[in-house]
Amino acid sequence: MAQEKKLFTLEDMIPGGVTHHKFIPENLSALKWWGDKVAYYDIEQEKLILIPARKPHAKEELELEKINQALEKAQLKKLHTLQRVTFPDKDHMLITAPDYYALYNKGSITWKMNLETIPAHPDFCYPNRTLAYTIDNNLWIANEENTHQITHEPEGVVCGQSVHRNEFGIYKGTFWSPGGKYLAFYRMDERMVTDYPLVDISTRIASLNPIKYPMAGMTSHVVTIGIYNTETRETTYLKTQDPVDRYFTNISWSPDEKDIYVIELNRDQNHAQLIKYDAQTGDKKEIVLEETHPKYVEPQHPVLFVKGTANQFIYQSQKDGFNHLYLYDTGGKLIKQLTQGNWLVQQVLGFDENGKNLFYLSTEESPLESRLYKVNLATGKRTLLTTAPGIHQVQLSSCGNYVIDNYSAADIPRIIEIVDVNKQKRVERLLEAANPYADYKMPEIEVGTLKAADGVTDLYYRLLKPIDFDATRKYPVIIYVYGGPHNQMIRNGFNWITRGWDIYMAQQGYMMLTVDNRGSMNRGLEFENVTFRHLGVEEGKDQMQGVEFLKSLPYVDENRIGVHGWSFGGHMSTALLLRYPGVFKAGVAGGPVIDWAYYEIMYGERYMDKPQDNPEGYEECNLNNLAGNLQDKLLLIHDDSDDTCVLQHTLSFMKACVDAFTFPDLFIYPGHKHNVVGHDRVHLYEKVSRYFFDNL
């Protein structure tokens, strides 16, 4: 007799749960290229597995014990794992420990650097064997010979770290030149930005832990870019336009280290300029190209110089409505548009060995997928390299002849292969993961399209039917929503990337619907910016199309529809209950934006403009103004240390509801920021689930 299939628990389905790790498809730990060898870490055997791409069966093994012997001989502490080692070139392994950096090659430590302090924001330059890092918001560099402090700034000035609240593709604050002669870095003066009070309740008397949080329409921080010369030990700052109310993004170097390129953006975010500066003097050389848009321009990628050239680069832009690749010369002349069509380039991976072809991931096959292509720079010919449907995560080898293709699809948990991009065929399959859900009852997952509120645009939806589904019954439904920019909830990954909680609730007898409304990602600029100046409004209309779809299904109980979302989804969940009272019986909004005037400048002003320039839009989208419409059950959940959607959003809504004599519910998670992480996340989803059990 076949064993009866099991049911999931929240510990199984929620990240942070005790058994959650069992339901993540098998992967290869620390998988990356070491030259033209695939390297990954065998955790159980404590060794690196090395597979030459040209001869995959000539597998090698490098044991942790052997590396520790070399470390011990060099009078360095032993490692407990090799999961965090990196490979800066084809011969050396970079070992990073809290108090040292070391290079390992063929059984010995060839270089080492001891550190007295654990570095923050480390950035290692292999050509000059130098580490850039920060201590107390000042920038330092260290190598085998000495340690040197670069900046000496007062409190309120931050150097060598990410700026502009990580918008515009910014994720770090230091940028080594190709040969390591120069180090570019961000300097951010926040002294003019108002302190925002966060409260730390872990002390006996709660203490203030203020952050700098520039709200829409208010004074922002001022950013400049320094260039440190490692030979002269002198720092020069770029002579930019007035840095007040200006964003400095997407920093890149010319191959000869003479010039540095910066994409600069005005505060209105509708005019971008790619500007070239002299790295030695900081002088502005020229505006290479400019881009404007009546709504917004959002640069997210630095220019990429063509391999083997010093006068041609790849520029990414949405100027034709989709993110595409353009080949320019350094004088700003367009040589050719390399990609075009009603699809977008998602990621550029690099060039082949001779620089003739460029590899990239795109949605050309489907907005729900990521596939690998190459484009020939001379002819513009595009070639599909990964034919299997799904989401492909790809790493390109140093020579550009091979890739590691790590992909999944709706019915494929994970496959990892080495692919020869020249022959366009698989060299070796490294892993085919088993289905971790095989022994458990799974809901039916249906994916399809419905029309947006404009009656024209197709929207993708994902519908989960309860386990043991009976079409003659009437089921309650929960809509899980995000709906904002830079997110897509439905893609052709394993189980259609369905969230674990959705599967759990389908097991409990609920139907679960998600719709990627207009405003979400991977569908082009017009699809996204239809929400400009009134965030949440058009998105809500599209979500209501999902409700109409549900009502058309004979097995849906239209009197028991709920909604849940977090962050932008928290805004959407609250807005749907307030703008469409009586439609939803219950909702749970986590970390919601309530009033966009309380949100930060960079994101908020891109999509809403300043409050003083768009007062009607801010009024329309301020959910405090709609508090009197609340007639359904609503639970708001917020983290008390949220530094993204500050607690003021939820507290202001509570006051508005008191004034309007309406009655939402509230739950606070102490000690968490913009989401509940760790094992507390299981508690969060137990709380959310119980609210729907009780009210839906």
**Which residues have a catalytic role annotated?**
567, 642, 674
* Strand, helix or coil for residue 240: coil
**258/270 Cα distance (integer angstroms):** 29
**Pairing relationship of beta strands 29-34 and 37-42 according to DSSP bridges:** antiparallel
CB 399 within 8 A of CB 36: yes
Q: Count the Cβ atoms, other than its own, within 10 Å of residue 673.
A: 16
Which residue has tokens 């508090």? 627
Q: Count the Cβ atoms, other than its own, within 10 Å of residue 21.
A: 10
Reported as half-sphere exposure (CB side, CA atoms, 13 A), residue 256 has a value of 9
Provide the residue count of the chain.
Answer: 696
Q: Which two tokens stand for residue 588?
A: 């749970």
- Sorted by sequence, the CB contacts under 8 Å of residue 657 that are 6+ apart come out as 627, 630, 663, 664
**CA-wise closest residue to 336 among 314, 306, 359, 311:** 314
Rg (CA), the chain: 27
* Strand, helix or coil for residue 693: helix
**626/635 Cα distance (integer angstroms):** 16
Alpha carbon distances (Å) from 447 to 327, 368, 492, 599: 37, 11, 10, 34
**CA-wise closest residue to 396 among 374, 367, 365, 414:** 374
**451/479 Cα distance (integer angstroms):** 17
Reported as half-sphere exposure (CB side, CA atoms, 13 A), residue 482 has a value of 13
**582/584 Cα distance (integer angstroms):** 6
Single-letter residue type at 229: N
CB 268 within 8 A of CB 609: yes
CB 176 within 8 A of CB 205: no
